[in-house]
């Protein structure tokens, strides 16, 4: 269910109030950007995809069903936007940016990069081995703590498809993940019967 203040913002934005939608952008930019970044793997692409997602959401506000959580609706748009972007990327042979090896102008600030650190790169590297749909399932499950039903609704999948994708993703992650020995020892100590 959508909270009252959020509902008021959505109603105002649907009536053409840019400031109300700007407030929505302010609230949800981080989870939306994170999903795009996890699916696309680059800050430039994540910025484009999340900006376009908000643009599309703004135009499609009249189609939003208030019975559905607003963030799920936004994440669903972002997911489909990312799929389109990856499809287009596959069709592009060599981008000019890659040709001239230009730095990404929209890379995160040093503070953000430091916060994320090498650790995040490892996570991203492991995620990038998964198919984009499996990746989306993992992100929604472990970053957003979504239930199977919520994942299924957001990604337009069946509940059993979510389970099987998650199962496959776990299997693949176990195959590629570089485990930090300290974390592993801690986990095994927790698992071992006393």
Partner 1 sequence: MKSRLLDQWPLDDRDLSASDRERLERALEHSPELQEELGVWQAIEASLRESPVIGPQAGFTRRWRSSLAEARERRRQRNVKWLLGALLIGALSALSLIGLEILSSPAQIGAALLETIVRVGQILNTGAHFLTILGNGWPALLGALALSAALAWLSVLWAAAMYRYGFKQVQNGVSG
In the complex, the residues that contact partner 1 under the rule CB under 8 A are 16, 18, 22, 25-26, 29-31, 33-34, 37-38, 43, 46-47, 50-51, 54-55, 58, 106-109, 112, 115-116, 119-120, 122-123, 138, 141-143, 147, 163, 167, 170-171, 173-175, 177, 179-180, 183-184, 186-188, 190-193
Please say which residue, 14 or 76, places its beta carbon nearer to partner 1: 14
Contacts 24+ apart (CB under 8 A), 150-158: 150/69, 150/72, 153/68, 153/72, 153/76, 154/72, 154/75, 154/76, 154/79, 155/76, 155/79, 156/76, 157/133
Distances (CA, A) of 30 to 34, 136, 152, 175: 6, 16, 22, 30
Please say which residue, 43 or 81, places its beta carbon nearer to partner 1: 43
Task: Quote the least distance from Cβ 93 to partner 1, whole Å.
Answer: 27
Task: Quote the least distance from Cβ 180 to partner 1, whole Å.
Answer: 7
Task: Quote the least distance from Cβ 162 to partner 1, whole Å.
Answer: 11
Task: Quote the least distance from Cβ 4 to partner 1, whole Å.
Answer: 22
Please say which residue, 92 or 192, places its beta carbon nearer to partner 1: 192
């Amino acid at each position: 269910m959508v909270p009252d203040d959020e509902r008021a913002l959505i109603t105002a934005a649907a009536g053409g109030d840019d400031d109300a939608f700007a407030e929505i952008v302010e609230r949800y930019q981080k989870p939306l950007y994170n999903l795009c970044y996890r699916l696309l793997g680059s800050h430039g692409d994540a910025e484009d995809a999340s900006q376009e997602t908000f643009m599309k959401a703004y135009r499609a506000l009249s189609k939003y069903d208030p019975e559905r959580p607003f963030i799920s609706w936004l994440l669903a748009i972002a997911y489909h936007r990312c799929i389109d972007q990856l499809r287009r990327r596959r069709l592009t042979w060599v981008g000019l940016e890659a040709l001239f090896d230009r730095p990404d102008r929209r890379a995160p600030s040093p503070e953000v990069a430091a916060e994320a650190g090498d650790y995040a790169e490892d996570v991203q590297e492991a995620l990038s081995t998964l198919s984009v749909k499996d990746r989306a399932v993992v992100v929604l499950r472990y970053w957003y703590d979504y239930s199977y039903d919520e994942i299924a609704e957001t990604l337009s999948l069946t509940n059993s498809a979510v389970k099987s994708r998650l199962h496959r993703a776990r299997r693949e992650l176990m195959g590629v993940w570089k485990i930090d020995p300290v974390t592993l020892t801690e986990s095994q100590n927790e698992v071992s019967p006393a």
